[in-house]
Structure 1
Amino acid sequence: MSGMSEERSAELREAEDAVVGTLLHPEAKDPAPDLISALSGTDFSQVRHGELWELLSSLWAAGRAVDPITVTGVLRERGDLMRLAGPAGAAWLHQLHDAVPTVAHAPAYAEMIREEAQWRALSVAAARTMTAVQRREGTAVAAAEAAVDAARAVRDQQIQRLDDGAIDLLDFLAQTPPEPDWVIPGVLARWDRLMITAGEGGGKSLMLRQVMMRAAAGLHPWKMARITLVRVLHIDAENSDSQAFPWLEMMFNAAKAEGAPVERGRFFMRLIPEGLAVTQARDRAWLARLVEQTRPDLISIGALYKLSANAKNDEEAARAVMSVLEMMRAVSGGAAMIVEAHASHAQMGKRDLRPIGFSLWMRWPEFGLAPADPAKNPGAQALRLMDWMPWRGPRSERDWPTQFCQGLRWPWQAIQHQGNAPVGTVTLTDDQAAAAGLVLPEQEQEPFWDDQQIH
């Protein structure tokens, strides 16, 4: 076998004989389930071993008797005995049975077979890459990206194979519901994805930066509460350094003033005001590399319309961009992701918070920022009161506020309402209160929901 010494090849053949032979032993009932889960027929270097393994696995799964005699009968009935066993016939199965020193060693043999199968798969992936290199097929970046994907497939194939099978509904409901793997407690868990929409100048960029900065500082986005420090990656494909700097500096100083300075290695960022072309191999590879280098728990990226050089607002373009975003989450190992998107203009006086163009994005969990109705919210304009609303219906699985207003230390502060007026958790300046025509009870200068400590 290519890449192996003769000694190693001999060891592998013996391991394959022994692990297949193990399933011919009735006393293999204990290790059999794990062996069948760990290996498939394609893992065997010898094709006939692989075919026999699939047959033995199916017999064990069906609860049938498995030994050299019964299996010989099955192969003879199928007309496969001579094809697989050759001139040795039934004697081959007895030889495999006798090649097992003890069934207790079978897991070690299976590990050896599985490892060699991965080496073969990696060799095939490398050969395909070399073929592309020699023929100059496509672009070098695209070939490299394909090589990385192929290598990851080799790495992950055993993880996928060991996935649990189906579970009965009653067993599922009897389990204790698992606690989400929180990145921000109650707000975002690992693998969550969120889209924030608003009209031009609606404050979505500031909301996104606030969430990222406070998470990196170990602060809840809108509560006076501590959380576990979060490593974040902020990719701004719309704003220049001069546009982003004042706000990022203000938020950095605000976190520091709360005794939670952002430490080095917690907040990574890249500003690309000219936008990206993530449908091109070069930019996809760059994004993957950036995620691999920074290893974030939370990723923000946007604006959505600046992520593709394709000006068409169709399903095909959206699908290509979405594929890249999913790739980034996969490379990160499950980071939560927030995407910023522009909303359509108001239609017939009604707010439309859906992102421009792409109906495919309707599948994402999403929220929009829209000015609150001043008729229902006295002083809304003075407070810059904004409704925080899901634009696909109500969502209760996350602890989101329903409204925000302009903050003091931070751009946005979450508020609660009693009737039509904000209650004491909102901090107003004297000018804001006077302009709004509101008389509020005495309150402390705390612009967040509460002082709960979250761990």
Structure 2
Amino acid sequence: MNSEHAVLGAILRSNSVYRDAAQLVTGADFTNPHLGAVFDGMGQVIARGDTVDPVTIELHFPEWGVSSAQISAADPWTWMDAAVIPQVAPRAAAVVARNAVRRNATEALKVALHDLADTGNDPADVVERMQRSLVREHREELETATLQQILQTPDEEDWVIPNLLERKDRLILTGHEGLGKTTLVRQLLILPAAGIHPFTFQRIEPVTALVIDAENTAKQWMRATRWMVKQALRTTSTDPSPNVHMALSGRLNILDPVTLGDIHRLIDRHHPGVVFLGPLYRLALQMNTDEQIAPVIAALDSIRDRGVALIIEAHAGHALGAGGVRDVRPRGSSALLGWPEFGYGIRKDTESGDPGLFDLVAWRGARESRDWPEQLRRGNWELGDWPWLPAEVWS
């Protein structure tokens, strides 16, 4: 018998103590992953208002991904023997948590020693990775506030780009290949970094940007942006390039905890107002179903929750909308459609007959009114234009 058995046995004796244990541990803290799966599964059953007991628990094993070969029907009864009374749950869970910390620390030190032996590694980075791996997630209880308290919340905009993006806003920008959505993204980053509003071109406070580009190379960025940087410098005497921090990673997997932790670390290091991440299809392997996209959205929200405006580039789908016009909604799961505060797509204008006019289509109803232009026109850099001009500015 051990503390892991005692935690499970206490819950079987009284489902109400699960909450006390869950404040201290998750299934990932269990040495035996099958017991950890049972612990998490018990929580799912209890959360939906059902009861878990030693008689019927085996019926849930397939749902939890465990089998009778891994956990026999007799085991739940032996777990209860390890917990004479339900009240042992928090004490036993505390032991499980301590053992998990000891186990994780041993593994982290082993990895750190291996990495330090490689002279190609920066010792400071090795230590920082080790520290991150040792931090246990802080679990907070749900708390309530009265509507009276909510109404006292300061009603002040926390602008990154005035009248366009606030901190914690999420924007997905879509378009079909070759229309210039990547160029528009760069305009949304480089101009604010120089203290220029990307659409009105008025002076604003310079914005720090972080770019996590999973597709384009340093040479591609250099060739595409150097003239924009020079023009911004001539316009404001502010060089935007030191304000744009870039990680050109190639394809990455933000579902990997180490990768996601690296992104969080970069945000904490550079304190950006806006973070660009994309293109979307290169951030995870599978994003076609709601089940596949859910953890991706959770990872993206963890980035946004660090107080940044988040811009994501995505490819538009291949479907045709009303009148045979190509849809600009993002490819993949429909769950993406309701996630961002703002969803816009670039599409050639089909009504005016003007080949130089493009629509900026809102494929997601904006949650708040902002000054996004409805139509854009490509600028002429030889004439000193920016890459994209709102149609009303151009005219």
TM class by smaller structure: 0.5 to 0.7
- Pick one of 156, 161, 164 that aligns with 1:184: 161
Q: What is the match of residue 320 of structure 2?
A: 347
CA RMSD in angstroms, aligned pairs only: 3.3
Paired residue for 2:104? Answer: 132
Secondary structure of residue in 2 paired with 1:288: helix
1:293 equivalenced with 2:269 (yes/no): yes
> What is the match of residue 176 of structure 2?
199
In structure 2, the residue matched to 1:165 is 145
CA shift in 2, pair 1:235/1:126, >3 Å: farther
Residues 1:126 and 1:233: Cα distance change in structure 2 (over 3 Å): farther
Change (3 A) 1:346 1:411: farther
- 2:336 paired residue number: 361
Question: TM-score when scaled to structure 1?
Answer: 0.55
Work out the CA distance in 1 between the residues paired with 2:239 and 2:96: 46
The residue number in structure 1 matching 2:386 is 410
Which runs of structure 2 are paired with 1:32-431 in the superposition (5 Å)? 128-134=100-106, 147-150=134-137, 153=138, 165-168=145-148, 178-263=155-240, 265-272=242-249, 274-308=250-284, 310-330=285-305, 333-347=306-320, 349-362=324-337, 363-365=339-341, 366-373=343-350, 376-379=351-354, 381=355, 383=356, 385-393=357-365, 397-408=369-380, 409-416=385-392, 425-426=393-394
- Which residue of structure 1 lines up, in the alignment, with residue 87 of structure 2? none
SS at match of 1:258: helix
| Contact 1:219/1:260 (<8 A) preserved | no
CA distance in structure 2 between the partners assigned to 1:293 and 1:165 by the alignment = 33
Alpha-carbon separation, structure 2, partners of 1:126 and 1:217: 50
Q: In the alignment, residue 390 of structure 1 is paired with which amino acid?
A: A
Distance 2:131 2:98 in 1: 11
Q: 2:213, 2:277 within 8 Å by CA — same for their partners in 1? A: yes
Shift of residue 135 of structure 1?
A: 6.9
Distance in 1, Cα, partners of 2:158 & 2:195: 16
Decide whether the 8 Å contact of 1:342 with 1:355 is kept in 2: yes
CA contact (8 A) 2:276 2:311 kept: yes
Counterpart AA for 2:303: M
Question: CA shift at 1:148, angstroms?
Answer: 3.1
Identity of aligned residues (%): 33
**Partner residue, 1:69:** none
The DSSP-based 3-state class of the residue aligned with 1:334 is coil
Alignment-mate amino acid for residue 356 of structure 1: R
Aligned partners of 1:129 and 1:143 also within 8 Å: no
- 1:260 CA drift (Å): 3.8
- Give per-residue Cα distances to partners, 1:394-440, cap 9 Å, x unaligned: 66611111000001232101122xxxxxxxx316xxxxxxxxxxxxx
Give, as a single letter, the amino acid of the residue that structure 2 aligns with 1:337: L
Identify if the C-alpha distance between structure 1 residues 188 and 312 changes in structure 2 by more than 3 Å, giving closer, same or farther: closer
Structure 1 CA distance, aligned partners of 2:376 and 2:136?
A: 42
Return the offset for 1:218: 0.8
Q: TM-score, normalised by structure 2?
A: 0.63
**Structure 1 position 267, deviation (Å):** 1.1
Letter in 2 for 1:148: V
Taking the aligned partners of 1:312 and 1:190, their CA distance within structure 2 comes to 26
- Cα displacement (A) at 1:257: 1.8
Looking at structure 2, the residues matched to 347 and 264 of structure 1 have their Cα atoms a distance apart, in angstroms, of 39
TM superposition shift of 1:149: 4.9
Contact 1:367 1:390 in 2 (8 A): yes
Aligned length: 280
CA contact (8 A) 2:169 2:340 kept: no
Q: Residue 391 of structure 1: CA displacement?
A: 0.6
Distance across 2 between alignment mates of 1:135 and 1:256 = 49
Instruction: Tell me, in whole angstroms, the C-alpha distance in 1 between the residues paired with 2:169 and 2:200.
Output: 20
CA distance 1:172–1:236, shift in 2 (3 Å): closer
State the one-letter code of the partner of 1:411. P
**What whole-Å deviation, never above 9, does each CA across 1:368-404 have from its counterpart, x for those lacking one?**
111111xx2132x1x2x11011113466611111000
Structure 1 residue 177: Cα displacement? 7.3
Aligned partner of residue 369 in structure 2, secondary structure: coil
Go from structure 1 to structure 2 and tell me whether the alpha carbon gap of 1:394 and 1:172 turns closer, same or farther (over 3 Å shift): closer
**Alpha carbons 2:164, 2:371 under 8 Å: kept:** yes
Where does 1:432-451 land on structure 2 (aligned, <5 Å)? none
**Residue 173 of structure 2 contacts residue 314 of structure 2 at CA under 8 Å; is this kept in 1?**
yes
Given that 2:170 and 2:304 are in contact with CA atoms closer than 8 Å, whether structure 1 keeps it comes out as no
CA, structure 1 residues 253+143, in 2 after alignment: closer, same or farther (shift >3 Å)?
A: closer
Give per-residue Cα distances to partners, 1:134-191, cap 9 Å, x unaligned. 478xx999996564352xx27xx5xx88x772124xx977x69713111111000111
